[in-house]
């Protein structure tokens, strides 16, 4: 990608049968007090007349039509490639944006020239006193976690700070970052593709800044219909293995193995509890033939700036923050944290 970028922000929104959500999302964009942007809707073969609605109601939107659902990663990649502005904002279609969000993003991006990735504050659409995410953390199990999820919005989440990465459902990236790190891995289809991207960016020496003043309201799981179903379990299980193979060198895999096994045991128990064993097994069987392919991808990633030790320390530090966030949420729900305390004491 060339460096002769245009000023402003390209906003990339993947869509699959989300007309009813676009009716909320797009007006919140076009009512912003910052208007130096272009909206790209990448439609994944919708059958709900989303495209006709866009052409009639929002003629300024750039529409990229795919014949069938090709997944989140490919859709956002096509939108990123279509744009030429300096900054790229990835946005889920089930998001409403606070009126000054884009202005705040543009202002902060100008103030922080060394930062190439920003995480937005995501609040629950239905209960706007609850967080949906305040930047992303990772765990040694090879998964991500939106910090603050289901916690009350409080003072600690009103502080601008560094986080491990950003949730791709609401994240701002400098276009040069894709030239250095690469686009989202289209083999993931959906789920954990941003965890993989965050790990690649961290390994390449980039940092992410959480901006509490850039607020969006997120419905969540609006496209898949529920957070836990056969598809989400299958893709999460498979892509978890992809993340591990792509981002953990053999030395890191050995060092992380105990905590990784603990995570896998908890994930399996959760899957059984939710009666999604078939989805879990499908994910395992899909991942096995691709393990070598993912390992080779890791070997081809030549943008590493951090040493393997430095990378491990970043992951461990982020996991500590994740566990504390989970404990805070569980405390608010009146749940016991004994196992998590043991985990912190033993592994962190």
Q: Output the pTM of the full model.
A: 0.95
Which CATH number fits the domain that encloses residue 327? 3.90.550.10
d(CA 206, CA 204) in angstroms, rounded, equals 6
- pLDDT tens for the chain, residues 1 to 348: 446 799 999 999 999 999 999 999 999 999 999 999 999 999 999 999 999 999 999 999 999 999 999 999 999 999 999 999 999 999 999 999 999 999 999 999 999 999 999 999 999 999 999 999 999 999 999 999 999 999 999 999 999 999 999 999 999 999 999 999 999 999 999 999 999 999 999 999 999 999 999 999 999 864 544 578 999 999 999 999 999 999 999 999 999 999 999 999 999 999 999 999 999 999 999 999 999 999 999 887 766 799 999 999 999 999 999 999 999 999 999 999 999 999 999 887
Identify whether the C-beta of residue 88 lies closer than 8 Å to the C-beta of residue 173: yes
What is the domain extent for residue 16?
1-348
Using alpha carbons, select from 145, 178, 157, 165 the residue that is nearest to residue 12: 178
Number of structural domains in the chain: 1
Identify whether the C-beta of residue 61 lies closer than 8 Å to the C-beta of residue 38: no
DSSP 275: T
| The pairing of beta strand 208-218 with beta strand 117-124 | parallel
């Amino acid at each position: 990608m060339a460096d002769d970028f245009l000023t402003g922000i390209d906003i990339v929104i993947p869509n699959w049968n989300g007309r009813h959500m676009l009716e909320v999302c797009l007006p919140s964009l076009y009512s912003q007090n910052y208007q130096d942007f272009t909206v790209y809707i990448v439609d994944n073969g919708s059958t709900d007349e989303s495209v006709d609605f866009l052409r009639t109601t929002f003629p300024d939107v750039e529409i990229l039509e795919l014949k069938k659902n090709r997944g989140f990663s490919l859709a956002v990649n096509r939108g990123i490639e279509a744009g030429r502005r300096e900054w790229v904002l990835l946005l889920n279609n089930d998001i409403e944006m606070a009126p000054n969000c884009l202005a705040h993003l543009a202002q902060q991006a100008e103030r922080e020239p060394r930062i190439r990735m920003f995480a937005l504050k995501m609040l629950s659409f239905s209960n706007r006193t609850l967080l949906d995410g305040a930047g992303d953390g990772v765990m040694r199990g090879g998964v991500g976690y939106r910090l603050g999820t289901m916690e009350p919005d409080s003072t600690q989440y009103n502080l601008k700070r560094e986080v491990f990465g950003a949730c791709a459902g609401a994240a701002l990236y400098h276009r040069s970052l894709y030239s250095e790190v690469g686009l989202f891995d289209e083999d993931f289809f959906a789920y954990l593709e941003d965890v993989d991207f965050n790990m690649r960016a961290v390994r390449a020496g980039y940092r992410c800044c959480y901006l509490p003043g850039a607020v969006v309201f997120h419905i969540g799981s609006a496209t898949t219909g529920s957070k836990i179903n056969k598809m989400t379990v299958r893709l999460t299980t498979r892509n978890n293995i992809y993340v591990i193979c792509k981002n953990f060198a053999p030395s890191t895999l050995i060092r992380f193995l105990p905590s990784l096994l603990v995570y896998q045991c908890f994930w399996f128990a959760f899957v059984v509890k939710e009666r999604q064993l078939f989805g879990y097994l499908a994910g395992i069987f899909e991942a096995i033939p691709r393990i070598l392919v993912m390992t080779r991808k890791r070997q081809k990633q030549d943008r590493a700036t951090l040493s393997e030790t430095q990378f491990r320390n970043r992951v461990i530090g982020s996991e500590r923050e994740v566990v504390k966030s989970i404990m805070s949420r569980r405390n608010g729900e009146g749940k016991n944290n004994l196992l998590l305390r043991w985990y912190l004491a033993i592994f962190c």
